[in-house]
Structure 1
């Protein structure tokens, strides 16, 4: 791990493997991090992401008008932004002593976003929320293998919310989250139909300090379920301010319990005159290894 730059030797690329949004150094969601890669085309980046096998792999470049330019690839293709991979990128740079604690900027396809790095965590700014109506409760319930009343009984809407990537935010009654039986094909079809990445399903927590427990399904992008989703957590924070906790500013979301990889995601929502003015998502990360993949 002494060599900080990622390079290709004999048609291979070195990566760092990082668990982001860990909970006391366990759980989290793994991401691949490629630092300063050689000249790669989109097909090669997808091939690397497939070989890594995680939900996202980030490719990090020196920025022209920002500190960094970061590209995010799933095993199926490029996405505009990824929260847990952003946390992985900046925690890797800090752990390799390539970055000191402070404020940095990253250029993504979702826009230029600021990232605050401390010795303890990484907090990223996300874009302001864009909200539109989601699918009906019957269709969503069928895709999740639950009765529609588990959704309707919350009294809350299903909405598509984006703070960088659009997700279908789905409320379920407490106690329902672990009993979901997701149908990948049905979720992918609804995601495609509503121009969303996937479903972000939550139940409000009965126990402080956790605000809500969540599960995320994005089979349209080759992710049946993932254990920590930063972009959808920012969207959920905005949703809760709009529909549940109008005075809320700090939220703590748990995700990944059903996968045996319980993770924690911190969300801060700033409002001015009842309008959301800033969305920040943060958490901790830990490096779990390195990998060399062939091209």
Structure 2
């Protein structure tokens, strides 16, 4: 069996950078085992598989090279950019069914994809001493941020880790320890950020690490960007309508731009959206065994 996988860079910055994802359309005949095998052969952090669903416009499942995950922001953006590019959808609003829930995706007239995320869950905190050895930044340096290290999920459980300005690129992940830590606490990975108070264009620069799922580092993470936007709304700016622009992937020489919007009412978040642009970069044909 031959399977065409569309290759897409998601969250590009003026057509460059971004995070690559694979997209398989018309994936209804494929088993989960076959989807995982395809994702492994593609080799990207995530590959999305689009199938039909009676409750939504599309059912989308997401596979890393090691396992299925409930949701993936950059692969969602890649999926709807592919559907739009192939003329299967036009600008407008659509429903996608994922393991994280039934979520809205909007295709804007300029081609930007904006995806709804689940409302945030704040699942606990860690002290600086616990996280410091995992990322190679001293406890006393982390403490200078005066911000909590918190587990936040808008689809996937990430640890949001603030680091002082200038420390982001000095992070050194202990992958073995982080894998054990994520297994113990049922986490996807770490999303570290530094506030960009000296720059007008970005609110924060970020790095994301999820070695438990075969991702040493990725250059754009939609789900964690939604979680970070909620974190910042909770701890820094409690406005009722917040817009953020994050930069990610700079340490990988693959800068990406991720927009996030959070709406609140009576100090409770009511809507979370993450958006950006994508660029199709090719098609890869995968030979898949029928056994």
Q: Same fold (TM over 0.5)?
A: yes
CA apart distance, 1:150: 2.2
What TM-score, normalized by structure 1, do the two folds share?
0.95
The residue matched to 1:104 in structure 2 has which SS?
strand
Indicate if the aligned counterparts of 1:168 and 1:191 stay in contact, CA closer than 8 A: no
1:210 has 2:196 as partner:
no
Aligned to 1:287: 280
Retained in 2: the 8 A contact 1:13–1:37? no
- Which shifted more, 276-285 or 32-41? 32-41
CA–CA separation in structure 1 for the residues paired with 2:56 and 2:27: 18
Tell me whether 158-167 or 34-43 shows the greater mean CA deviation: 34-43
Give me the whole-angstrom Cα distance separating, in 2, the residues matched to 1:262 and 1:89: 20
Secondary structure of the 1:134 match is strand
Q: Which residue of 2 aligns with 1:193?
A: 184
> Hey, what's the Cα distance between the residues in 1 that align with 2:141 and 2:30?
46
Q: CA deviation at 1:139?
A: 2.3
Trace 1:93-172 onto structure 2 (pairs within 5 A).
93-118=83-108, 119-172=110-163
Question: Please, which runs of 5 or more residues in structure 1 have no aligned partner?
Answer: 1-10
Indicate if the aligned counterparts of 2:81 and 2:111 stay in contact, CA closer than 8 A. no
The change in CA–CA distance for 1:83 and 1:22 in structure 2 (over 3 A counts) is same
* Residue of 12, 15, 24 corresponding to 1:34: 24
Task: Give the superposition deviation at 1:135.
Answer: 2.9
**For each residue in 1:173-214, what CA deviation from the matched residue of structure 2 results, as whole angstroms up to 9, or x when unmatched?**
011000111111111122122211000000001201200000
Cα shift at 1:136: 2.5
Whole-angstrom CA distance in 1 between matches of 2:211 and 2:16: 25
Alignment partner of 1:273 out of 263, 266, 291: 266
Question: Which residue in 2 is equivalent to 1:175?
Answer: 166
Report how far residue 140 of structure 1 moved.
1.1
In the alignment, which residue of structure 2 is the partner of 1:77?
A: 67
Moved more, 231-240 or 29-38: 29-38
Deviation at 1:246, TM superposition (A): 1.6
**Contact 1:135–1:190 under 8 Å retained in 2:** no
Q: TM-score, normalised by structure 2?
A: 0.96
Q: Hey, which bits of structure 1, 4+ residues long, moved more than 2 A?
A: none
Aligned partner of 1:3 in structure 2 is none
Aligned-residue CA RMSD (Å): 1.0
Q: Following TM superposition, by how much is the alpha carbon of 1:120 offset from its aligned partner in structure 2, in angstroms? A: 2.7
Q: Deviations over 1:271-294 (max 9, x none)?
A: 011110000000000000000111
Greater mean alpha carbon deviation, residues 136-145 or residues 175-184: 136-145
**Number of residues of Structure 1 aligned to a counterpart in Structure 2:** 285
8 Å contact 1:135–1:194 — kept in the other structure?
A: no
- How far does residue 38 in structure 1 lie from its aligned partner after superposition? 4.9
Gap runs ≥5 in structure 2: none
